Amino acid sequence: MAINWQAEAAKYEKDLLADLTTLLRIKSERDIEHKTDDAPLGPGPAKALQAMLALAERDGFKTLNVDNVAGRIEMGDGDEIFGLFGHMDVVPAGPGWNTDPYEPVIKDGKIYARGSSDDKGPSIAAYYALKMIKDLGLPVNKKIHFIIGTDEESEWVGINRYMEVEPAPDFGFSPDAEFPIINGEKGIATFAVNLKNIAAKSAALTLQQFTAGIRVNMVPQSATAVIGGQLPADFDAQLQDFTKANHVTATTEAKGNATELTLVGKGAHAQEPKAGVNAATYLATFLNTFDFDPAGKTYLHLIADFMHEDSRGHKLQINYTDKVMGELTASPDMFDFNQDGNKQIMINIRYPQGTDASQIRDQIESTLGEDLVDVTINGHAQGPHYVSGDDPLVQTLLGVFERQTGLKGHEQVIGGGTYGRIIERGVAFGAQMPDQENVMHQANEYMPIKDIMAAVAIYAEAISELAK
């Protein structure tokens, strides 16, 4: 009997939105400052995981909780394991929201909240696809493991712990990207650029502090500098001209004998820095024209001359393009300068096959000058990942997408990193529709409800095809 997947999915919309609202209300940002033995990544991620597993238990699925950092929803039996990979953690809400980021709002057919598109919305769509298959009694001849992580936006603690103690799926997909498919993901590494000590010297102005960024995978929306000394008489006029010419905003405030200057741009996911307006590099570019102390001047110079408006790394001389995976992207996302403390810049880089993190590190240090900086790889670099377009997994998923949407499927490679890369035959599949605005990691994140429901139908047919 032919199944009308869209019609079947539509029956679940009311219940799905109620469950999604429950998840979106949980502030599941990584919060290790408040970690406990029962919540190693903080109370929010653990609570969101428990809430997701509770939904599955309510609906009769078998579940597993791994140390409150990862979990599993199970269905079916067989010799092979088909995996789904979602996550309940979110990046910090950050500034710029028109509504409470943790009180979901439905407006104009869209649900607004942090995590609506990354990744609670897509994850609940995949869950309801499983529920639909279960309710319809469709044949399942493989084990289906829907694996839920709680640290995808940071260090992958949850999924790595899961893979240490539980069997890895043989193949599968992550509902954490876009359609028609993501079968290639660039390598990801963050580089810490630390300014070496520079002898002090008198100057008209002193850069006391320069701060920006809340996560290494988010283009900073705002940046703040604290400036000591007497500002030039035309400082405000120059600032006004700069902000007007560059479509950013700025405010100044007296702080004792210093001035605090805050500039606001636009946040974005670091996988495509062009989608944002990096407040830190704009602020450094403006300040770089003034007479600062040696350490401050050097810090501003490095940002303005080697990082501003150069998302492909040409100025750092790390630009690289692969014919399959595309261009390297570079996004300076975290800034921490204190006249008497840290003087650091964190650059998030997504690189294609053909280069590697060690080579990139060496080139950044060489370009900026070994006498001025030390450059280190911050944490673990993830290498590029690619599943051939000829793989039956890719072909099946593209076929389902084409049948349900009427659109032509094609391979894609992204700079984002998903759990799809955790296994050799893993890809990302939806839930963002082609040509839909990408608002992941941005203020006022949302997902169209019609797209969530379309994803339920697509996922249900895809899972049914792959697990039968």
Interatomic CA distance for residues 255 and 261, integer angstroms: 10
**How many residues comprise the chain?**
468
Angle (nearest 5°) at CA 217 between 272 and 104: 95
Catalytic residue among 29, 119, 152, 185: 152
Contact 147, 83 (CB under 8 A): yes
Phi, psi of 316 (to 5 degrees): -85, -5
Smallest Cα–Cα separation from 124: which of 39, 212, 258, 16?
16
Q: Which of 67, 89, 451, 461 is an active site residue?
A: 89
Known active-site residue 89: yes
Distance CA 184, CA 435 (A): 19
Structure tokens at 280: 């830190």
Is residue 152 annotated as part of the catalytic site, yes or no?
A: yes
How far from the centroid of its chain's Cα atoms is residue 72's Cα? 22
Task: Please give the Cα distance from 191 to 204 (Å, whole number).
Answer: 32
Task: Dig out the tokens for 93 from the structure.
Answer: 């809400």
Q: How many angstroms separate the CA atoms of 405 and 397, rounded? A: 12
Could you give the residue numbers annotated as active site?
89, 152
